Structure 1
Amino acid sequence: MDAFIFFLALFTLMASTPPADAAETSAAALLKTVDQSGKGDYEKIQEAIDAVPSNNKEVVFILVKPGVYEEKIVVPADKPFITLSGSKANNTIITSSDSGNIIKSATVTVLASDFVGRYLTIQNLGYQDTLLDETGRHYYYNCYIEGAVDFICGNAASLFEVTFQEPVSEEFSAITAQRRQSPSEETGFTFPGSKMTGERTAILGRPWGSYSRVVFALTYISNVILPRGWDDWGDASMQSTMFYYEYKCYGPGANTSQRVEWSQKLAPKEVELFLSKSIVEAKSWIKPTPKHFKKPFLAISNNSTEHP
């Protein structure tokens, strides 16, 4: 079975419930290194995460040295402000081969707020649902996402900027399965300036939720995308509630003349919101990469909430 890959040059995530208090984070980050050769502070990524105290209030920068890390990683909800960083995405790989349950089979699970992932490849041998983008506000920049059926799914409010996607399914494939379930939910997936390539056919999206919301704007779409563009998942009643829009996309797959009649185009004034990071309220939580670090970062019991 093909390996499906989430390749990150930069991936920034903030969970919205409960929010962490960013004002209490320190200017200098606590630095910890992970190195399989034994030359770092830890040999496994999860060990470094486990050492971060519960109710953490300081930026923790975990530098992962090159290698293939066969681990399933979990960042608990009570450990915010963690940055997990490799040096190059093509030589720092986190991989697992679990499959089945969409929650339990994940290679990397992030439950905490203010998480940043950089220069990593996250890989799983599962067949579909590559990226469960479920809760919170997320920003993806310069990423490569490869998958098959519904391979970007969930109900977060997320901006995918300069994201490369390649559907690899041998049969049916959908790029997105967004799960917005009511008009009051401020969630949805936006793809401004992305690039879509691949060898097999796919659609742009289908509704996991009745009010599914997905926007592709200024995106290159190759002929991998079928002319109809979208699917109603066999439920025509959702055609009037879904929010599926395209704006000034280009490429052989961007011709909308044969799109399903219920998909829509955005007007220039309407699209402004979807082209800006303001749609995910980025100014309130996206912070620059730390330039100053504290060492040594002593191991701390998870039962303690204070640094020694």
Structure 2
Amino acid sequence: MIFMYAREKVTVNFSKPNVTFQGQGFESTIIVWNNSAKNTGTFYSATVDVFATGFVTNNISFKNASPAPKPGDRDGQAVAIRVSGSIDFIFGNGRSFYEKCILNSVATSDGINGAICAQGREYAADDTGFAFVNCRITGSGLILLGRAWRPYSRVVFAHTDMPGIIVPRVGATGTTRNEMRTTMFYGEYMCTGVGANMTGRVPYAKPLTEQQAQIYLDASYVDADGWLKPFNDSLIVN
């Protein structure tokens, strides 16, 4: 097996649709950079920025090597994807599908100080949201499944293993107003583990029926039939 460790910032621009990054294993193919919010702002601190449609990655680790911020530091956040992080480490207003991913919290244990995602669906007409299917949540701390970032925030967890680090409620960012509670959509379907107990969830976090969950359960949620080809060796470009 070839080991590749590339230290660079990678950007896939809008003009490069349908790009696939194919690695040889998450432990042997690693792209690493060390930006933080202090240098570029949180949005541009990721090791790999993808702005194009139809992007696929498989068997690669994206690593942000920026040092963990000290307690009280400002602008120390850094974006990375296994997917590991502590506060809103998956965020934005995209429509994205996460299947068989490890969502690893590195939050500290002194209180509730982490959240997996902050989805930013701004308007009812926005066809965006996050779907997590057959994932496994691991790690440390006490964390929220998500924080509603915008009025129509939409997140679904299905068939996902949730340990006891999950706080039994969904949080909200400082932008959340009372009227947003009727427009946000947080759904859970057939999840397992201690953290999947929905007792204590906020009112807008709902258990989904099979029919309600169906549109989120596979890659058709991101219209994959139109652009995502089955993987085979012919997709590897040397």
TM-score by length of 2: 0.83
CA contact (8 A) 2:162 2:195 kept: yes
Instruction: Kindly state the Cα deviation for residue 239 of structure 1 after the two structures are TM-superposed.
Output: 1.2
- Paired with 1:227 and 1:82, the residues of 2 have a C-alpha distance of 38
Instruction: Give matches, 1:70-219, under 5 Å.
Output: 70-100=7-37, 101-126=41-66, 128=77, 130=79, 144-170=82-108, 172-219=113-160
Work out which structure has the larger RCO, using CA pairs closer than 8 Å and 6 or more positions apart in sequence.
1
Name the larger-Rg structure: 1
User: Could you tell me which amino acid in structure 2 is paired with residue 145 of structure 1?
Assistant: V
SS at match of 1:198: strand
Q: Which residue of 2 aligns with 1:251?
A: 193
Instruction: Kindly state the Cα deviation for residue 157 of structure 1 after the two structures are TM-superposed.
Output: 1.1
CA contact (8 A) 1:68 1:93 kept: yes
Number of equivalences: 221
User: Could you tell me which amino acid in structure 2 is paired with residue 114 of structure 1?
Assistant: G
| Residues 294 and 180 (structure 1), Cα distance of their counterparts in 2 relative to 1, 3 Å cut | closer
Instruction: Kindly state the Cα deviation for residue 293 of structure 1 after the two structures are TM-superposed.
Output: 7.7
CA contact (8 A) 2:45 2:79 kept: no
TM-score by length of 1: 0.66
Q: Which residue of 1 aligns with 2:70?
A: none
> Which whole-Å deviations, capped at 9, do the CAs of 1:224-252 have from their partners, x for residues lacking one?
10122x01224333211110111221111
CA contact (8 A) 2:185 2:204 kept: no
CA contact (8 A) 2:47 2:79 kept: no
Q: Which residue of 2 aligns with 1:289?
A: 231
Q: Which residue of 2 aligns with 1:30?
A: none
Instruction: Give matches, 1:14-93, under 5 Å.
Output: 66-93=3-30
CA contact (8 A) 2:148 2:173 kept: yes
SS at match of 1:184: coil
- Paired with 2:148 and 2:48, the residues of 1 have a C-alpha distance of 25
User: Could you tell me which amino acid in structure 2 is paired with residue 71 of structure 1?
Assistant: E
SS at match of 1:226: coil
CA contact (8 A) 1:147 1:166 kept: yes
Range 245-254 or range 234-243, more displaced: 234-243
SS at match of 2:214: helix
| Residues 294 and 209 (structure 1), Cα distance of their counterparts in 2 relative to 1, 3 Å cut | closer
Give the alignment partner of residue 220 of structure 2, picking from 258, 275, 278. 278
Structure ranking higher in helix proportion: 2
> Which whole-Å deviations, capped at 9, do the CAs of 1:37-92 have from their partners, x for residues lacking one?
xxxxxxxxxxxxxxxxxxxxxxxxxxxx5232111112233233433222122022
Q: Which residue of 2 aligns with 1:231?
A: 171
Instruction: Kindly state the Cα deviation for residue 174 of structure 1 after the two structures are TM-superposed.
Output: 0.6
Instruction: Kindly state the Cα deviation for residue 294 of structure 1 after the two structures are TM-superposed.
Output: 10
What percent identity do the matched residue pairs reach?
Answer: 36
Unpaired runs of 5+ residues, structure 2, are: 67-75
